[in-house]
Structure 1
Amino acid sequence: MTEPVVVFEERATADGGRIGLATLNASRSLNALSLEMIQLLDTRLRQWAEDPAIHAVWLDGAGDKAFCAGGDVVSLVKALKQEEDEGGVRGRHAQEYFTHEYRLDYLLHTYPKPVLVWADGIVMGGGLGLTAGANHRLVTETTRVAMPEITIGLYPDIGASWFLNRMLPGIGAYLGLTGANLNARDALDLGLADHFIPRERKDELLAGICDSHMVEGSENSAEAVIMRNVAELERRDQAPSAQVRPLLDHLQSLTRKARVEDAIAAILEDANEDAWLAANRKRLAAGCPLSARLAWEMLERHRHGSLADAFRDELVASIQCNVLGDFAEGVRALLIDKDQSPRWRHQDVSSISDADLEAMFSPPWHQQPGPLDDL
């Protein structure tokens, strides 16, 4: 019998209410986020939002390696190839996938009940999209957060055009350009996480919440109960050492530039021998030039915009990365053929024409209403 890709459960609370639990159940793929997963989550979350007996929602991932290592990009590329072979409309599956993904992410940002995400292990790309909007983003000693889209010809999407802008100036740009890996302490320092809980305390935390009485509008409301239980188990002193905070001034000096070309040059020419910085330089040097340009451009476009506007713009750019950009080639080189030798369309950022960039923001639905216009 085929295992469900998302396991749903409802656990009783001491007052007769329930906590809704959703577990991504594809541990072999590090819980890569498929379209089916997205649709199942969206449907159940909307049901739970309307159910007065559901006090809060808990999201986690199966296995001990990842909450979610990103979107199911291999399936996206296979669908694009099938569209080409069959002479269909290229990018149709990409439009469906990203529309549903961003709608789910927006739902989490605006959810009417507390949402806890157990962000243990790898949390990348689409996994960060699920995490970013939660009320309680719980990280552990094994948490590894990144937006490494520059390695596959995409760019930091899933609302990152909005939330990376809310970091200290220049830091979001550095993360977007380099795909830097962050640990739990970094995630806390940069506003990508809320609490550090040792992974061995997961069951204890969930049990404590379920054993509580929750009365809406009182000191025993769901939010208050969650906060009390989290506070009892939080151990920030056990978090790994910060990688970003000691380098804040240095990182800002690299990216506080007028042009993306200048920021990239500063990063690549940086002589600092710190191992974390060196790994980031290497990733940028081998990464997709169009992705770097898009990462920079999206942050510029949404510096003062709304989350909904960012998702609408990201939908267009992500579809065009599939149809016009380097996404298929990046995924091929990294995850399908695994030759680690992508053939990017542009030699460097400077060779990307204004027309090339403009095409990435041309809606495939032209003058018709967009799929996310109602957000």
Structure 2
Amino acid sequence: MTDSVVFELLAAGNGKSIGLATLNVEKKLNSLTQDMVALLDARLIEWERDASVVCVWLQGAGEKAFCAGGDVRCLRDKIAEVGPQQAQPFVQAFFENEYRLDYRIHRYPKPIICWGHGIIMGGGIGLMSGASHRVVTETSRMAMPEITIGLYPDVGGTWFLNHAPGRTGLFLGLTGANFNAADALFVGMADRFVPSASKQAVLELLQQQVWSDSAVDNAAIVSSVLRQHEALDQLPKGNVREHYDLIQAVTDGDSAVQVVEKISAIVSEEKWLQKAVATLKAGCPTTAHLVFEQLQRGKKLSLPQVFQMELIMSLQCALHPDFPEGVRALLVDKDGAPNWQHASVAAVDPQWVEQHFQPPWADGNNPLSDLA
């Protein structure tokens, strides 16, 4: 049986090593399972303690994807098998462990280079967003498409979507729109554009460096190597910057209902905009409210508070019917006909939305309260 994550140590200068972690489920577009989360987390802890490891390189196997997201189908299967309440411990462990790994990457004391090629969605963006050096290529295709399954942009989405320029994060969260390398750089979800053909040269140059015992110095070394291989003249044409003014106009509203109405009214010949509008219209009405609310409520939250809020939201999504129904329609039966609880965004009761922000634990103690 092939390992779902492959770990290697690459010899580098000064007797140091580079930790190489490869998500290795190519046929499933390297979608993140609980086992993969556990393996990655344990190895990152090990490499953090190993003074000889100067940086970490995180990548996905194959040409198609870095990581297409988390294995949400397993959650739906468990909910369908035992019911939402009985499935809660399983669901909580899934999200809690994933968020702990994402948070570890955000706070990691050594440089982490994430090679973000191909499809990067949902949980894949969660892994990538906290890395110190986030690389995109000409093949990168990113999205937070949770509105199609009745979830919401989790894995720190409250943080990174709120840090995107203007209200572009709100637009991307509501529409699940795909964005490329140029867009990722513009919205602050990537740091460097390096052509795919340069990958091996970058790795080899990193191995040739004279590394330091200082993480700050080593981060600068990584930046220098990536800068040498950056090729901004080869950047694909982006969409978010081009449509920035329109995005600002249609997201200027005081409620999810107002914003959704404005986005839905867009008339354009641009296929990117047409697809964004179509995805929103077919998406889960509850999710539209959750996206709007998470970004409003999350504006001044710290990163630990973001993950704490998202754990509540994710558990409540599993306890409510839209999320398992959305996964069923998209990934299980694949009929593309989810039976959402509400016929429209306007029909969603504010109390229903508020339930998704209420801690589901009897003692009210958040399992992620130890994040600091």
Bucket of the pairwise TM-score, normalised by the shorter protein:
over 0.9
Q: C-alpha distance in 1, partners of 2:254/2:354?
A: 19
| Deviation by residue 1:210-252 (Cα, 9 ceiling, x = unmatched) | 1111023499x32222122111111011110111111111100
Aligned partner (choices 250, 265, 283) of residue 279 of structure 2: 283
Tell me if structure 1 keeps the 8 A contact 2:151–2:317. Answer: yes
Cα deviation digits, residues 71-91 of structure 1 (max 9, x gap): 00111111222223xx97232
Correspondences of 1:218-237 after superposition (within 5 Å): 221-237=217-233
Larger deviation, residues 250-259 vs 224-233: 224-233
CA contact (8 A) 1:80 1:93 kept: no
Distance 1:317 1:218, change over 3 A: closer
Runs of 4+ aligned structure 1 residues displaced above 4 Å come to none
Instruction: Name stretches of at least 5 consecutive residues in structure 2 with no aligned partner.
Output: none
Shift of 1:296: 0.5
1:164 offset after TM fit, Å?
0.8
CA-atom RMSD, angstroms? 1.4
Give the AA of the match of 2:188.
G
Report the counterpart of residue 208 of structure 2 in structure 1: 211
Aligned to 2:77: 78
The answer for the alignment partner of 1:345 in structure 2 is 341
| Deviation digits for residues 155-193 of structure 1 (CA, Å, limit 9, x no counterpart) | 011111111111222211101100010000000111000
Match of 1:307 among 303, 307, 313: 303
Q: Distance in 2 between matches of 1:61 and 1:78?
A: 26
CA distance in 2, matches of 1:368, 1:328: 24
351, 364, 367: which is aligned to 2:363? 367
CA-CA distance at 1:368 after TM superposition:
4.0
Q: Does 1:196 align with 2:193?
A: yes
> CA separation of 1:67/1:226 partners in 2, compared to 1, >3 Å: closer, same or farther?
same
Pair 1:256-2:252 in alignment? yes
Look up the equivalent residue of 2:49 and give its one-letter code: E
Q: Is the contact between residue 137 and residue 193 of structure 2 (CA under 8 Å) also seen in structure 1?
A: yes
- Structure 2 letter corresponding to 1:334: L
* 2:148 paired with 1:151: yes
SS across alignment from 1:215: coil
Following the alignment from structure 1 to structure 2, what is the Cα–Cα distance between the partners of residues 325 and 112?
Answer: 40
Counterparts in 2 of 1:212 and 1:101: CA distance versus 1, 3 Å: same
Aligned to 2:87, the other structure's residue is in SS state coil
Q: Which residue of 2 aligns with 1:136?
A: 133
Q: What is the rounded CA distance, in whole Å, between the counterparts of 2:301 and 2:364 in structure 1?
A: 22
Q: Which residue is 1:97 aligned to?
A: 94
CA distance in 2, matches of 1:19, 1:69: 25
Higher mean C-alpha deviation, range 140-149 or range 8-17: 8-17
Q: Residue type matched to 1:321 in 2? A: C
Q: Which amino acid aligns with 2:302?
A: S
Structure 2 match to 1:18: 17
User: What CA distance in whole angstroms lies between the structure 2 residues aligned with 1:182 and 1:126?
Assistant: 16
TM-score, normalised to structure 2's length?
0.97
Instruction: Provide the TM-score with structure 1 as the length reference.
Output: 0.96
**Contact 1:169–1:256 (Cα < 8 Å) also in 2:** no
Equivalenced residue count is 371
Structure 2 CA distance for partners of 1:119 and 1:305, relative to 1, 3 Å: same
SS in 1 for 2:13: coil
For the 8 Å contact 2:48–2:109, the answer to whether it is kept is yes
1:141 Cα deviation after fit = 0.5
